[in-house]
Amino acid sequence: MRTQVAIVGAGPAGLFLGHLLRQAGIDAVVLERRDRAYVEGRVRAGVLEQVTVDLMDRLDLGRRMHREGLVHTGTNIAADGELFRIDMAALTGGASVMVYGQQEVMKDLFDAAEPRGVKVIFDAEDVALHDIDSAKPHVTWRKDGVEQRLDCDVIAGCDGFHGVTRAAIPAGVLKTFERVYPFGWLGVLADVPPCDHELIYCNHERGFALASMRSPTRSRYYLQCGLDEKIEDWSDDRFWDELCLRLGDEAAGRVTRGPSFEKSIAPLRSFVGEPMRHGRLFLAGDAAHIVPPTGAKGMNLAVSDVVMLAEALSEYFLDGSEAGLDGYSARALARVWKAERFSWWFTGLTHRFPDRDGFDRKIQVAELDYIRGSRAAQVTLAENYVGLPLV
Ligand code: FAD
Ligand code: PHB
């Protein structure tokens, strides 16, 4: 088999890139280790920046999102039970975010893939990259016990944090930067109405909590938890009790309890691998960088990466210029690091750090109080939260 771009991974980065290249008339094949049901079933992101909303529209995939998604023009911060609202639209000249689950985005991308000729090969085992330093790289994998080979001009590594593509960059070339946080997020999905029409990011002595949603009848809640904690120890009752304590009386009074149908613990990490290119391999999304979910940036960064990569690949295949490919890593990283900074900062502002002392806590409380009273501080928060422009 031969193609122009071999894309490894059919998460948001890989599938958006597949659609973008298809739209530009560039031939691509997406190789995915799991099946469609698995990729679509993972409960992950919930908040789309304008960049992501725009891309859905540009690909003519936005109809269901505009019908079912929820436009949020503000978000809330609770400090020890007292709420204040960040009016994102008023602070940014009209920007907003869209609450529409990653699962729904993936469904829309997969549904449109076959009719539009975006080729996806599922259950591709043992994907390996070869000759990425040369002008003729290739990818091998096994499917149904049979070895397969795909020759290509370029490989896009979109296989997430635990994928194989980043590891193909020689250790002496790849520089990594990392922060591992001493806590995780316990997430719950339940078919109950959300406690607020917007999100609530909650700083509490007992730890961070987040009230989010998927629809007017489906709530998504998170609690900061220890890394050694086990799902089995968190009954629904314990979860709701702890959530209500952290949210404070005002929001807790509006919480509707109900049986959860998904419960999981995710560790928090900041990570960047640079450069995002080696030879004919280009990394995008979680394969290159991870942010703690506090800023709701992970999937949106995957999207901004592939928008930039698709532009560079179009310049290369359609105009014969390598300038875009040469500039890709620096251009993508400039936006990535700003989102890393915001996600790290927002995590520090809202979480309880077991290794920090009373001084740190006082500083945190003072900063929250400052944000509550300062339009300048709120503008900074809002413009980062809705997403920085693509430059
Ligand atoms: P992935 O989604 O990880 O996709 C990679 C794909 O590659 C997978 O399908 C995988 O099966 C496949 N793969 C892996 N290895 C191989 C291999 N060897 N061969 C072939 N295929 C392979 N982001 C936001 O923007 N907003 C949010 O509100 C938000 N909330 C989050 C909440 C939680 C609890 C979590 C865990 C994440 C959240 N994120 C959020 C982050 C977001 O989900 C990720 O950043 C996003 O999924 C990254 O997309 P990706 O395509 O780069 O990687
Ligand atoms: C979510 O709804 O899953 C969600 C929302 C906001 C975040 C992280 C996750 O910051």
Burial classification of residue 222, based on how many CB atoms lie within 10 Å of its CB (0-12 exposed, 13-18 middle, 19 or more buried): buried
Closest CA to 297 of 234, 247, 347, 351: 347
Q: Which ligand is nearest to the CA of 102?
A: 1
* SS (HEC) of the chain: CECCEEEECCCHHHHHHHHHHHHHCCCEEEECCCCHHHHHHCCCCCEECHHHHHHHHHCCCCHHHHHHCEEECCEEEEECCEEEEECHHHHHCCCCEEECCHHHHHHHHHHHHHHHCCEEECCCEEEEEECCCCCCCEEEEEECCEEEEEECCEEEECCCCCCCCHHHCCCCCCEEEEEEEEEEEEEEEECCCCCCCCCEEEECCCCCEEEEEEECCEEEEEEEECCCCCHHHCCHHHHHHHHHHHHCHHHHCCCCCCCEEEEEEEEEEEEEEECCEECCEEECHHHCEECCHHHCCHHHHHHHHHHHHHHHHHHHHHHCCCHHHHHHHHHHHHHHHHHHHHHHHHHHHHCCCCCCCHHHHHHHHHHHHHHHHCHHHHHHHHHHHHCCCCC
- The CA-atom distances, in angstroms, between 299 and each of 2, 11, 16, 160, 339 are 29, 9, 11, 11, 11
Centre of ligand 2 to C-alpha 124, Å, is 30
Tokens for 214, please give them. Answer: 């998927």
Query: Which entry of 138, 204, 278, 297 is annotated as an active-site residue?
Result: 297
Tokens for 289, please give them. Answer: 């960088």
Q: Which amino acid is at 18?
A: G
Distance of CA 229 to the CA centre of its chain: 24
Tokens for 58, please give them. Answer: 């540009």
What length is written for the chain?
391
Residue 89 has a pLDDT of 98
User: Is 72 a catalytic site residue?
Assistant: yes
Averaged pLDDT, groups of 10, the chain, 391 residues long: 98 98 98 96 93 97 98 94 94 97 97 97 98 97 97 98 97 96 98 98 96 97 97 98 96 97 96 98 98 97 98 98 98 98 98 93 95 98 97 92
User: Is 289 a catalytic site residue?
Assistant: no
Cβ proximity of 89 and 95 under 8 Å: yes
Q: What strands lie across the sheet with 125-130, from one edge to the other?
A: 125-130, 138-143, 146-151
Centre of ligand 2 to C-alpha 240, Å, is 18
CA–CA distance, 150 with 6 (Å, rounded to integer): 8
CA–CA distance, 158 with 135 (Å, rounded to integer): 20
CA–CA distance, 135 with 139 (Å, rounded to integer): 13
pLDDT tens sequence across 135-166: 999 999 999 999 999 999 999 999 999 999 99
207 lines ligand 1 (CB under 6 A): no
Query: Which entry of 72, 278, 289, 351 is annotated as an active-site residue?
Result: 72
Residue 246 has a pLDDT of 96
Residues with C-beta less than 6 Å from any ligand 2 atom: 46-47, 199, 212, 220, 293-294, 296
CA–CA distance, 13 with 29 (Å, rounded to integer): 13
Cβ proximity of 140 and 121 under 8 Å: no
Residue 282 has a pLDDT of 98
Residue 80 has a pLDDT of 77
pTM of the entire predicted model: 0.97
User: Is 193 a catalytic site residue?
Assistant: no
CA–CA distance, 304 with 291 (Å, rounded to integer): 14
User: Is 297 a catalytic site residue?
Assistant: yes
Tokens for 55, please give them. Answer: 């891309």
Lookup result for tokens 């629904």 = 236
Centre of ligand 1 to C-alpha 12, Å, is 7
How much of the chain exceeds pLDDT 70, in percent? 100
